[in-house]
Amino acid sequence: MKITDLQIPEAVKELITKSGIIELYPPQEEAIKTGVLDGKNLVLASPTASGKTLIAELCALKHILERNHKVIYLTPLRALASEKFDEFKKYTAITKTDGRRIRVGISTGDFDSADPWLERNDVIITTNEKADSLLRHRAKWVDDVSLVIADEIHLLNDAERGPTLEVTLARLMQTSPDLQILALSATINNVDEIAAWLKAEQVTTEWRPVPLREGVLQHDEIQYKDGDARRIEKKTKDPATNLVLSTINSGGQVLVFASTRKSAVALAKKFAGEIEGVLSKPARRSLEHDAEQVLASDEKTRISETLAELVKRGTAFHHAGLGSRHRRIVEESFRQGKIKVLTATPTLAFGVNLPAKTVVIQDYRRYEAGYGYYPISVLEYKQMAGRAGRPKYDKCGEAVLIAKTADEADYLLESYIFARPERIWSRLAVERIMRSHVLATIAADFAHTETGIYEFFGKTFYAQQYDVDAIKGLISKILNYLSYEEMIEVLGDNIVATRLGKRVSELYIDPVSSVVIRDSLRNNISHVTDLSLLHMISHTPDMGPILRPYTQELGELTAFMEEHKQEFLVDVPDEFQDSVSYEQFLGEVKTARTLQAWIEEASEEQVIDKFGVQPGDLYRMIENAKWLLHATHELTPLFGNRQVLPQTSELTERMEKGVKKELLPLIKLEGIGRTRGRIIYNAGYKTIEDVKHAPVEALTNLPLIGQKLAKRIKEQVGGFVKKDSWEKLDREDWKQKALTEY
Ligand SMILES: Nc1ncnc2c1ncn2[C@@H]1O[C@H](COP(=O)(O)OP(=O)(O)OP(=O)(O)O)[C@@H](O)[C@H]1O
Ligand SMILES: [Mg+2]
527-567: per-residue pLDDT in tens?
799 999 999 999 999 998 888 899 999 999 999 999 999 89
Please say if the pLDDT value at position 736 is more than 80. Answer: no
Strand partners, 230: 222
Number of the ligand closest to the Cα of 154: 1
End-to-end CA, the chain: 45
Nearest to 211, CA basis, from 391, 383, 54: 391
Q: Could you tell me the pLDDT band of residue 731, with boundaries at 50, 70 and 90?
A: low
- Closest C-alpha residue for ligand 1 atom 27: 351
Q: What pLDDT is recorded for position 371?
A: 77
Amino acid at residue number 650: E
Number of the ligand closest to the Cα of 52: 1
Of residues 296 and 480, more confidence is placed in: 480
Q: What pLDDT is recorded for position 640?
A: 85
- Looking at the chain, the whole-number percentage of residues with pLDDT higher than 70 is 96
Q: What pLDDT is recorded for position 113?
A: 73
CA distances from 345 to 217, 324, 342, 362 (A): 20, 15, 10, 10
Q: What pLDDT is recorded for position 21?
A: 95
Residue of 6, 30, 46, 53 to test ligand 1 pocket, by largest number of atoms within 8 Å of CB: 53
User: Average per-residue pLDDT in the chain?
Assistant: 92
Identify whether the C-beta of residue 117 lies closer than 8 Å to the C-beta of residue 42.
Answer: no
CA angle, 114 as apex, 621 and 540 as ends, to 5°?
30
Residues 328-356 have a mean pLDDT of 93
The rounded Å distance from CA 5 to ligand 2 centre is: 24
Please say if the pLDDT value at position 179 is more than 80. Answer: yes
Q: Which atom of ligand 1 is nearest to the CA of 184?
A: 22
Strand partners, 670: none
Residue 388 is given by DSSP the state: B
Q: Could you tell me the pLDDT band of residue 524, with boundaries at 50, 70 and 90?
A: low
Q: What pLDDT is recorded for position 73?
A: 98
Please say if the pLDDT value at position 7 is more than 80. Answer: yes
Residue of 24, 29, 54 to test ligand 1 pocket, by largest number of atoms within 8 Å of CB: 54
Q: What is the pTM of this model?
A: 0.89
What is the C-alpha separation between 202 and 30, in angstroms, rounded? 10
- Closest C-alpha residue for ligand 1 atom 8: 51
Please say if the pLDDT value at position 426 is more than 60. Answer: yes
Q: Could you tell me the pLDDT band of residue 345, with boundaries at 50, 70 and 90?
A: very high
Residues 503-518 have a mean pLDDT of 96
The rounded Å distance from CA 422 to ligand 1 centre is: 24
Please say if the pLDDT value at position 525 is more than 80. Answer: no
Q: Is the CB of 377 under 6 A from ligand 1?
A: no
Please say if the pLDDT value at position 642 is more than 90. Answer: no
Q: What pLDDT is recorded for position 453?
A: 96
Please say if the pLDDT value at position 67 is more than 80. Answer: yes
3-state secondary structure string across 348-387: HCCCCCCCECEEEECCCEEEECCCEEEECCHHHHHHHHCC
Q: Which atom of ligand 1 is nearest to the CA of 25?
A: 1
The rounded Å distance from CA 350 to ligand 2 centre is: 8
- Closest C-alpha residue for ligand 1 atom 14: 49
The rounded Å distance from CA 31 to ligand 1 centre is: 14
The rounded Å distance from CA 581 to ligand 2 centre is: 42
Q: Is the CB of 26 under 6 A from ligand 1?
A: no
The rounded Å distance from CA 485 to ligand 1 centre is: 49
Identify whether the C-beta of residue 651 lies closer than 8 Å to the C-beta of residue 599.
Answer: yes
Residue of 12, 21, 59 to test ligand 1 pocket, by largest number of atoms within 8 Å of CB: 21
Identify whether the C-beta of residue 295 lies closer than 8 Å to the C-beta of residue 311.
Answer: no
What is the C-alpha separation between 91 and 12, in angstroms, rounded? 8
Please say if the pLDDT value at position 296 is more than 90. Answer: no
Number of the ligand closest to the Cα of 379: 1
Identify whether the C-beta of residue 248 lies closer than 8 Å to the C-beta of residue 353.
Answer: no
Q: Which atom of ligand 1 is nearest to the CA of 351?
A: 27
3-state secondary structure string across 641-691: CCCCHHHHHHHHHHHHHCCCHHHCCHHHCCCCCHHHHHHHHHCCCCCHHHH
Please say if the pLDDT value at position 334 is more than 50. Answer: yes
Q: Is the CB of 17 under 6 A from ligand 1?
A: no
What is the C-alpha separation between 30 and 50, in angstroms, rounded? 12
CA distances from 207 to 29, 376, 394, 501 (A): 12, 24, 16, 49
For the sheet containing 104-107, what is the strand order? 104-107, 123-127, 70-75, 145-150, 180-185, 42-45, 201-204
Q: Is the CB of 51 under 6 A from ligand 1?
A: yes
Around 267, how many Cα atoms within 13 Å sit in the side-chain half-sphere? 28
What is the C-alpha separation between 491 and 478, in angstroms, rounded? 17
Burial 190-221 (b: 16+ CB within 10 A, else e): bbebbbebbebbbbbbeebbbebbbbbbbeee
- Closest C-alpha residue for ligand 1 atom 10: 51
Q: 716 by DSSP, 3-state: which?
A: helix
Q: Could you tell me the pLDDT band of residue 509, with boundaries at 50, 70 and 90?
A: very high
The rounded Å distance from CA 49 to ligand 2 centre is: 7
Please say if the pLDDT value at position 431 is more than 60. Answer: yes
The rounded Å distance from CA 391 to ligand 2 centre is: 13
Number of the ligand closest to the Cα of 51: 1
Please say if the pLDDT value at position 198 is more than 90. Answer: yes
CA angle, 175 as apex, 173 and 176 as ends, to 5°?
65
Q: Is the CB of 6 under 6 A from ligand 1?
A: no
Of residues 731 and 43, more confidence is placed in: 43
Number of the ligand closest to the Cα of 359: 1
The rounded Å distance from CA 384 to ligand 2 centre is: 13
Q: What pLDDT is recorded for position 523?
A: 66
Q: What pLDDT is recorded for position 368?
A: 77
The rounded Å distance from CA 344 to ligand 2 centre is: 19
Q: What pLDDT is recorded for position 78?
A: 84
Q: What pLDDT is recorded for position 741?
A: 33
What is the C-alpha separation between 425 and 726, in angstroms, rounded? 66
Q: What pLDDT is recorded for position 441?
A: 97
Please say if the pLDDT value at position 738 is more than 60. Answer: no
The rounded Å distance from CA 151 to ligand 2 centre is: 7
What is the C-alpha separation between 246 and 328, in angstroms, rounded? 27
Of 261-265, 481-485, 525-529, 531-535, the poorest mean pLDDT is in 525-529
The rounded Å distance from CA 651 to ligand 2 centre is: 40
What is the C-alpha separation between 483 and 308, in angstroms, rounded? 54
Q: What pLDDT is recorded for position 700?
A: 87
Please say if the pLDDT value at position 513 is more than 80. Answer: yes
Please say if the pLDDT value at position 737 is more than 50. Answer: no
Nearest to 259, CA basis, from 341, 363, 358, 377: 363
Residues 379-394 have a mean pLDDT of 94
Number of the ligand closest to the Cα of 44: 1
What is the C-alpha separation between 390 and 352, in angstroms, rounded? 9
| Helix, strand, coil percent content, the chain, rounded in steps of 5 | 55, 15, 30
The rounded Å distance from CA 118 to ligand 1 centre is: 27
pLDDT tens string 666-704:
999 888 888 889 999 999 999 999 999 988 888 888 888
- Looking at the chain, the whole-number percentage of residues with pLDDT higher than 90 is 75
Strand partners, 361: 257, 401
For the sheet containing 212-218, what is the strand order? 229-231, 221-224, 212-218, 397-403, 358-361, 254-257, 341-344, 315-318
Identify whether the C-beta of residue 487 lies closer than 8 Å to the C-beta of residue 457.
Answer: no
Q: What pLDDT is recorded for position 221?
A: 96
Q: Is the CB of 392 under 6 A from ligand 1?
A: yes
Beta-carbon count within 10 A of 723 CB: 7
Burial 394-426 (b: 16+ CB within 10 A, else e): beebbbbbbbeeeeebebbbeebbeeebeebeb
What is the C-alpha separation between 74 and 586, in angstroms, rounded? 38
Please say if the pLDDT value at position 648 is more than 80. Answer: yes
Number of the ligand closest to the Cα of 355: 1
Q: 343 by DSSP, 3-state: which?
A: strand
Residue of 353, 354, 382, 393 to test ligand 1 pocket, by largest number of atoms within 8 Å of CB: 353
